[in-house]
Amino acid sequence: MLTIDGAEGEGGGQVLRTALGLSLVTGKPFLIERIRARRSKPGLQRQHLTAVLAAAEVGGARTEGAELGSQRLFFRPSRLRAGQYRFAIGTAGSTTLVLQTVLPALLMAEGPSTVVIEGGTHNPMAPPFEFVEQAFAPLLHRMGAGLQLTLRRHGFYPAGGGEIVAAIAPAAWQPLEPPERSERPQLRGRILLSDIPHHVAEREASVLRRELGLGADEVQVQPVRAAGPGNVVMLRLQLGTVTEVVTALGERGVAAEDVAGRVVAEARALLAADVPIGEHLADQLLIPLALAGSGSFTTVAPSQHTRTNAQVIEQFLPVRFALQEHSGRPGVWCITVMAAR
Amino acid sequence: MCQHGDLLVRRLILLTEPRFSKLFEAVASDIATISPETTVERRDLHIRDAWDFEQVFDALFELTRNLGLDPEAEDVLVHMTTGSHVAQICLFLLTETRHFPARLLQTGPPRQGSDEPGTWQIIDLDLSRFDKIAQRFAQQHQQGQSLLKSGIATRSRAFNELITQVETVAPASTAPILLTGPTGAGKSQLARRIHELKQQRHQLAGPFVEVNCATLRGDHAQSALFGHKRGAFTGALQDRAGLLRTANGGMLFLDEIGELGGDEQAMLLRALEEKRFLPLGSDREVDSDFQLVAGTNKDLGEAVAAGRFREDLLARINLWTFRLPGLQARSEDIEPNVDHELERWSAQVGRRVHFNVPARQRYLAFATSAAAAWRGNFRDLNASITRLCTLAPGGRITEALVDAEIARLTADWQREPTTTGGATEDDEVLRAVIGDDRVAALDRFDRVQLAEVLRTCRRHRSLSAAGRELFAVSRNNRASTNDADRLRKYLLRFGVDPAIALGP
């Protein structure tokens, strides 16, 4: 049986989510130990527990150690079932991370599924909804998989209360055509605001316009209704055949200019890197790429997160990842997946 | 409470008041959003004034009776951070007394300007779970036990276990305590120490009052215990408070309680139950709240059967019964007690006395042997050491002095009838065959041997069979054996007819 060290590498919830997702896909049971062992609150937190229970529901799995604070979990799926699911996450936990957990399995299931997830839609340390919708889903389409996303309610940390719906169609996998970068990227800004004074959004918008040379109508301010206050600065970058989304969350005690400044800095780095795929999108693409069996793309230097993710995937699927820096272009990396010999 | 990633509340019972419905709805809906795993149950309390201790306590106490919490099935926490201070105190008290079978949950607000949910911690009132606190308790128990043993490092396991029990019970209970055991086993001493311990722990402020019931007779008994009004009887020239009243707020030690007269028993029972009684010649009752410790060397159960002691009074004082073993049953404790008596004599007289080494060995060897009956127990030991100390030339107890003391003790114990400590098994066998008088004339040496021989004879029908068992080892080494003859001669030496000794 597969035994996974949950404290290895990045050592957080990602190891757990990848393992859960691929166990459902392959039907392989696994034991994960030292879950988040080196974190300040080690073991399963409530949002992780929700992910475990969601995966268990989708795959009819038997679990041991699915308890709060547990650092050891045994997971044995029985039968993967497509259908209607609804998961509610406490503590304003990220809806996109729970989606990420069950998505690979439902893409491999026998019929279409609809998953409703309640919780946070724009969380720190998690992909924001628009990133999944506009950057990740179109690439999935190109690989032969269907994912339609709808945001019903916004949910911001710490109040939560958001809701997303994912319509998932089984995939007929095809290898990913290496995405290409266009000469003239198109940028669009969008700022979400809930229960926060309007001038905050205006100040953020003016930073984006000034620093990135955007026109007045190229940055939108969108007030939304949510259970609690929230502020998100987003920049959509049309990089050619790929769309990237860069975001920053407004924080108490951080000036509006600085929040927008973070987006500007990340966008500039991505534009300067001269690759179509950023760090976070690269991370998300590993599993679909492995499920498709082959493919490659160029990106920035892979993060610890990405490397750990690749290692866990290799434990479940008969694939191998090659992460190589381009010989002639420093800072440009090529990630390739191939069948393991 | 419901926002923490590492705390999951499955069922939240929210205490509220009917007039706070709107607030309740808002809180319940927030919880539904942030913690979909939680079900919220509403409990309306009817408290007019949340700062009125009686009202709040009453309402919460009522709640403990109808919440139907099952600590086996659920891990129950009582959140005591919200509510008036009075409510918090009541929640604490009810949890501490296990009316809520729960641990306490305490939450703290987040740092200013932070979106984090703040802090939480669980406080388990089972303080023994905390190492440091447990250590302090252990230390306190140790001190309490040492006090009960008058600082004597006793080694007898049975006695030390008894002291451990007393140390647990005495501070935790105000119910009567019954101390049994032979005379001189230290009942009065222990009662005094229990009083001291309870005083030290601030549980008793009043005095220690002691009386031997055997010394109370007639009118005098009632007046001594319950007091009298002036003129209640001839010679009652002034009011007298009585021992029960004097012991108010303190401890009353009634030694030899089995000797108490019937009227006094009835009055004592009422005084224990009602905490009030009627002094002699008075028409007004007086109050007195005291802790009773009773001592007896009699079997009170037997006294009840014989109609000499009230059954209801025995039931009342028999809740905590501690049997103090006699000194002979505590031979390991003789040495530390000898040292203690030496110290005490030295302190009283202001002159140091000690044994020389061989004298000490000889004394202890005798004192811990079976030959030392210690009929009067600690009273005997105290008297013996007092004699030795008083007679010690130049503060040294010599071998000659010890020999003389041993002879004296032996003679004392022989003179006394053997019935004092109750008949032993040996004595029963002997008496049945040779009669009381001749048993008393026997050396212990012979008594033990003869008793065993007689017991063996009873199991056999012939002297030969009994002899074979008795001489089983030595008969193998002899050419010719006549066990029957050997046994007959032995029995005749004590005037025992072999025909009577044998079994049917």
Residues B469-481 have pLDDT tens digits of: 888 888 777 776 7
Encode pLDDT of A28-54 as tens digits: 999 999 999 999 899 999 999 999 999
Domain residue ranges in chain B: 11-125, 134-323, 327-416, 423-501
Instruction: Flag whether residue A49 sits within 8 Å of chain B, measured between CB atoms.
Output: yes
Topology match between the domains B11-125 and B327-416: no
Residue A110 lies in a domain: yes
CB-based burial label for B318 (10 Å; 0-12, 13-18, 19+) = middle
* Residues of A annotated as catalytic (active site), given as ranges: 305
Q: Which chain A residues touch B116 with a CB distance below 8 Å?
A: 158
- Judgement on whether residues A294 and A327 belong to the same structural domain of the protein: yes
- Is the domain of A256 the same as that of A311? no
C-alpha dist (Å) from residue B311 to A207, B221, B252, B265: 95, 21, 21, 10
**Residues in chain B closer than 8 A to A161 (CB atoms):** 33-34
Q: What pLDDT is attached to residue B419?
A: 44
Burial class, A81, CB count within 10 angstroms (exposed 0-12 / middle 13-18 / buried 19+) = middle
- In chain B, the residue whose alpha carbon lies closest to the alpha carbon of A53 is B37
Q: How many CB pairs under 8 A join A and B?
A: 55
Buried b (16+ CB within 10 A) or exposed e, B457-492: beebeebebbbbebbeeeeeeeeebebbeebbebbe
- Residues of chain B whose beta carbon is less than 8 angstroms from a beta carbon of chain A are 2-8, 30, 33-38, 113-117
- What is the reported pLDDT for A2? 94
Task: Give me the residue label for tokens 């957080």.
Answer: A12
Report the residue of B6, B27, B116, B120 to disrupt the A interface, i.e. the one with the largest count of A CBs within 10 Å: B6
Is the pLDDT score of B243 beyond 50? yes
Give the gap in angstroms from C-alpha A162 to the nearest C-alpha of chain B: 9
CB A302 within 8 A of CB A333: yes
Which parts of B140-250 are beta strand (E)? 177-180, 208-212
Question: A253 contacts in B (CB within 8 Å)?
Answer: 113
pLDDT in tens, B66-109: 888 888 888 999 998 888 999 999 999 998 888 898 999 999 99
Q: Is residue A181 part of a domain?
A: no
The whole-number pLDDT of residue B209 equals 94
Q: What's the confidence (pLDDT) of residue B491? A: 87
Checking if the pLDDT of B132 tops 80, the result is: no
What distance in Å separates residue A328's CA from the closest CA in chain B?
46
Record: contact A92-B116, CB cut-off 8 A = no
Interchain proximity B6–A69, CB inside 8 Å:
yes
Residue A242 has pLDDT above 50, yes or no: yes
Residue of B33, B114, B116 with shortest CB distance to A160 = B33
Strand partners of residue B397: B355
CB pair distance less than 8 Å for A160 and B34 = yes
Q: Please state the ipTM of this predicted complex.
A: 0.86
Among A79, A109, A130, identify where a domain stops: A79
Q: Are residues A159 and A126 in the same domain?
A: yes
Given the candidates 3.30.1330.10, 3.40.640.10, 1.10.287.3510, 3.40.50.300, the CATH classification of the domain at B134-323 is 3.40.50.300
Q: Quick one: A75 and A87 in the same domain?
A: no
pLDDT at position A74 is: 97
Q: Does pLDDT of B133 surpass 80?
A: no
Calculate the CA A105 to chain-centre distance.
16
| Mean pLDDT of the B122-132 span | 75
- Residues B310-329 pLDDT 10s: 999 999 999 999 999 999 89
Look at residue A180 and tell me if it is in a domain.
no
The CA distance from A45 to the nearest CA of chain B, in Å, is 5
Q: Do residue A120 and residue A140 come from a single domain?
A: yes
Per-residue pLDDT for B195 more than 60? yes
Question: Which of the residue ranges B218-222, B415-419, B423-427 has the most confident prediction, judged by mean pLDDT?
Answer: B218-222
Residue A46: closest CA among chain B residues belongs to which residue? B5
**What residues in B contact A89, CB-CB < 8 Å?**
36
Q: Say what the pLDDT of residue B421 is.
A: 40
Judging contacts by C-beta atoms under 8 Å, the chain A residues touching residue B38 are 90
B35, closest residue in chain A (CA to CA)? A90
Give the three-class secondary structure for A24.
helix
Tell me whether residue A301 is in a domain: yes
All residues at 6 or more sequence positions from B134 whose CB lies less than 8 Å from its CB, including other chains = B127, B128
pLDDT tens, residue by residue, B9-67 = 999 999 998 999 999 999 999 999 999 999 999 999 989 999 999 999 999 999 988 88
Q: What is the DSSP string of A265-283?
A: HHHHHHHHHT-SB-HHHHH
For residue B499, the Cα-to-chain-centroid distance in whole angstroms is 50
Residues A254 and A217 in one domain: yes
**Domain of residue A51, residue span:** 1-79
**Closest-CA distance of chain A to residue B134, Å:** 27
**Average pLDDT of B331-357?**
89
Q: Which residue has the tokens 């003679």?
A: B411
Tell me the percentage of chain B whose pLDDT exceeds 90.
48
Q: Is A327 helix (H, G, I), strand (E, B) or coil?
A: coil
Q: Which of A46, A47, A70 to mutate to test the interface with B (most CBs of B within 10 A)?
A: A46
pLDDT tier at A19 (50, 70, 90 boundaries)?
very high
CATH number, position A211:
3.30.360.20
Q: Supply the pLDDT for residue B504.
A: 66
Q: Which residue of B has its CA nearest to A230?
A: B115
- What is the model's pLDDT at position B422? 41
Q: Are residues A302 and A252 in the same domain?
A: no
**Which of B6, B34, B114 shows the shortest C-beta gap to A41?**
B6
Q: Note whether A67 and A103 are same-domain residues.
A: no
Question: Which of A46, A161, A227 is closest, CB to CB, to B5?
Answer: A46
Q: What confidence tens digit (pLDDT) does each residue in A108-129 have?
A: 999 999 999 999 999 999 999 9
Q: Angle at which helices A304-316 and A13-26 pack, to 10 degrees?
A: 30
**Do the chains contact at A91 and B116, CB–CB below 8 Å?**
no
Q: Which CATH number fits domain B11-125: 1.25.40.10, 1.10.10.10, 3.40.50.10770, 3.40.1640.10?
A: 3.40.50.10770
pLDDT score at B416: 56
Chain A closest CA to B9's CA: distance in Å?
11
Alpha-carbon span B338 to B330, nearest angstrom = 13
CB contact under 8 A, B37 and A92: no
CATH number, span B327-416: 1.10.8
Q: Looking at beta carbons, which residues of chain A come within 8 Å of B30?
A: 159, 227
Residues of chain B positioned with their CB less than 8 A from the CB of A68 = 6-8
User: CB within 8 A of B485, min separation 6: which ones?
Assistant: none
Please report residues of A whose CB lies closer than 8 A to that of B6.
41, 45-46, 68-69
Q: Does residue A336 fall inside a structural domain? A: yes
Q: What is the mean pLDDT of chain A?
A: 94
Name the closest residue on chain B to residue A90, using Cα atoms: B35
Give the gap in angstroms from C-alpha B132 to the nearest C-alpha of chain A: 25
Domain-terminating residue out of A51, A79, A107? A79
Residues 209-238 of A with CB under 8 A from B: 227
Cα separation, B337 vs B303, whole angstroms: 33
What is the per-residue DSSP string for B213-231?
GGG--HHHHHHHHH-B-TT
Q: Does A160 touch chain B (CB under 8 A)?
A: yes
Give yes or no: residues A7 and A57 share one domain: yes
Residue given tokens 């139907």 in the structure block: B68
Pair (A97, A113) in one structural domain? yes
If asked whether residues A96 and A67 sit together in one domain, one would say no
Please indicate whether, in this complex, the C-beta atoms of A252 and B114 are within 8 angstroms of each other. yes
Answer yes or no: do A90 and B35 touch at CB < 8 A: yes
Whether B4 and A158 lie within 8 Å, measured CB to CB = no
Same domain? A104 vs A166: yes
Distance from B3 to chain A by nearest Cα, in Å? 5
- In this prediction, residue B345 carries a pLDDT of 87
C-alpha dihedral sign at A16, A21, A24, A28: negative
Q: Which residues of B touch A46 (CB under 8 A)?
A: 4-6, 8, 37
Mention every residue, 6+ apart, whose C-beta is less than 8 A from residue B325: B156, B158, B159, B162, B181, B185
Mean pLDDT of chain B: 88
Does A73 reside within a domain?
yes
Which is more confidently placed, B434 or B199?
Answer: B199
What per-residue confidence (pLDDT) applies to A61?
A: 97
Of residues B124 and B254, the one with the higher pLDDT is: B254
Q: What is the CATH number of the domain that holds A293?
A: 3.30.1370
Of B34, B113, B114, the CB nearest to A91: B34
Final residue in a domain of this structure, among A46, A79, A112:
A79
| Structural domains in chain A (count) | 4
Asked whether residue B238 carries a pLDDT value surpassing 90, the answer given is no
